[in-house]
Amino acid sequence: MKKFFDGFKKDIKFKTAGPGKKLTEDTSSKPEVVQSSSSSKNNRHAPSEGSQMAGAAALARIEQHQRPKVYTSQDVIRNQVKRELEAAALAEKEKADTAEGAKVPVKDPACLSVSGVYFTCPLTGATLTKSEREVHIKEAILMRFEEDRVEASVMMIHTFNKDREKVKAAVDIISKYIENICKNPTEEKYRKIKLSNKVYQEKVRCVEGSREFLEALGFTSIMLPVEGQEEEEEFLVLLEYSPDALELMKERRDRLQRGEPVRAQLDRQPQAFRSSPNAQRFELPPEFYNLTAEELKREQQQRSELVEKNAMLRTKAMREKEEQRERRKYNYTLLRIRLPDGSLLQGTFYAWDRLPVLFAFVRESLVDGWQPFELIAPGGQKLQEAEEVALAECNLVPAALLTFAWDAAVQADIAAAGRKSPALLKPELLETIRTLS
């Protein structure tokens, strides 16, 4: 695909009219101030022309279509995100139609124990559904080009590309480019990257965000003659290589190497409930299951068979193998913890979250979270906070009611001192306490 990002030279104040044209110095261009499209940034200046082009270029690479004309308006980003949101909505509709076609019973939302599974964007703080999270994070990263092109391109590299081996290979090659330049700053050959080069094509070009990162470092697209060829070829050339610029380049290389994928975080939706005889009743939405609509239907048909099968004499190994298969059906689990006063604390977890995650959730919800306590699973099993065991492996999926108990020795010391235990849950949870239906 022909590159969309030709001629981006804001940082070094050069521009080119197109392939084969001479470079001319631009001393008059200034960032244009326009209204930001983001509601959370109404009081900020809009991105510079170069930053807008960076975001547009990133979108062009995501689309993987023939390169469009260069637009500097943020409308490019908004329109692309709008298209992706529409595609996500269509996918949700098709999923619902599939469920309807499979005649899977649809539960009344008012009867559900939790309305759904939600996530929080670490960049914007927005609450998202599963279908919204990927598109929203892409938009948030692309909009970061307004503030920090290096940070945005690092996020692109580590988030937009699912193949971690390819990402590592690209990061290693780019790091090598930088190391060669810093060791030999006056050697012109190290400051030029031929885009038709086999290593660049196979290791770098295929990784989204890699070119944006190089351009954020100061590399500029230039058409240059190639010995033995009539036609010029495109190169990325580093024109600024002062000692300060080289030190800054090393720091940005380190940021690239330390980069991590931006992932939406599971919203645990902590909720307090009053004491209720319905504490063990759970009605879960479809998002909790790692099954298609047809698989859900088949599972319902097999429930009666399962009862009969459980009555059969089976070995322990057979039972454990079947239990493992059952646990893999679930993506998430809804847990309730019954507190000493009868009230309930509820939260959503990944099925493969470890026990320390559960204990941390409970501890953060308590007024006196510093005090030692126990969590007892159905059947009387005491869960161990220090054990790195998944919730699914403890048979706590897709939902379970746990029992909370303070450490008896500590409570005895408190009672001996004549002190009364304060309220269990934090005020912000008690303010929204509800009654289970």
Cα separation of 330 and 393, whole Å?
Answer: 12
Tens digit of each residue's pLDDT (9 = 90 or more) over 174-197? 999 999 999 999 999 999 999 999
pLDDT reading at 71 higher than 50: no
Highest mean pLDDT among 327-341, 352-366, 408-422: 352-366
Cα separation of 409 and 428, whole Å?
Answer: 29
Q: Which two tokens stand for residue 306?
A: 């399962």
**Residue predicted with more confidence, 42 or 127:** 127
Cα separation of 425 and 102, whole Å?
Answer: 43
pLDDT reading at 30 higher than 60: no
**Residue predicted with more confidence, 299 or 23:** 299
3-state secondary structure of 24: strand
**Residue predicted with more confidence, 313 or 115:** 115
Q: 37 falls in which pLDDT band (50, 70, 90)? A: very low
Cα separation of 291 and 331, whole Å?
Answer: 9
Which of the four CATH numbers 1.20.58.2190, 1.10.287.1080, 2.60.40.420, 1.10.290.10 does domain 122-258 have? Answer: 1.20.58.2190
**Residues 113 and 271 sit within 8 Å (Cβ to Cβ):** no
Q: 56 falls in which pLDDT band (50, 70, 90)? A: low
Phi and psi at residue 194, to the nearest 5°: -80, 120
**Residue predicted with more confidence, 72 or 404:** 404
Residue 204 per-residue DSSP state: I
Is 18 buried (19+), middle (13-18) or exposed (0-12) by CB count in 10 A? exposed
Percent of the chain with pLDDT over 70: 66
Average pLDDT of the residues of the chain: 79
Q: 408 falls in which pLDDT band (50, 70, 90)? A: confident
Per-residue model confidence (pLDDT) at position 91 = 64
Q: Which two tokens stand for residue 157?
A: 């590299």
Cα separation of 200 and 174, whole Å?
Answer: 9
Per-residue model confidence (pLDDT) at position 275 = 94
Percent of the chain with pLDDT over 90: 56
Phi and psi at residue 226, to the nearest 5°: -120, 130
Tens digit of each residue's pLDDT (9 = 90 or more) over 297-343? 555 555 555 555 555 555 656 555 555 555 567 889 999 999 999 99
Residues listed for the chain: 437
Cα separation of 324 and 329, whole Å?
Answer: 9
- For the chain, the domains span 122-258, 272-282+330-435
Q: Which two tokens stand for residue 390?
A: 């998944």
Per-residue model confidence (pLDDT) at position 140 = 96
Lowest pLDDT segment from 30-34, 99-103, 144-148? 30-34
Lowest pLDDT segment from 85-94, 117-126, 139-148, 235-244? 85-94
Sheet with 118-120: strands ordered across: 127-129, 118-120, 265-267
Tens digit of each residue's pLDDT (9 = 90 or more) over 222-267? 999 999 899 999 999 998 889 999 999 999 999 999 999 999 999 9
Assigned CATH class of 272-282+330-435: alpha beta
pLDDT reading at 27 higher than 50: no
Residue position matching structure tokens 């309305």: 115
Residue position matching structure tokens 């408190």: 414
Per-residue model confidence (pLDDT) at position 298 = 56
Cα separation of 5 and 53, whole Å?
Answer: 7
Is 229 buried (19+), middle (13-18) or exposed (0-12) by CB count in 10 A? exposed
Helix spans in 161-242 (H) = 164-183, 198-199, 210-217
Q: 110 falls in which pLDDT band (50, 70, 90)? A: confident
DSSP E strands in 290-331: the ranges are none
Cα separation of 436 and 340, whole Å?
Answer: 18
Lowest pLDDT segment from 60-74, 90-104, 106-120, 277-291? 60-74
Q: Which two tokens stand for residue 109?
A: 């939302």
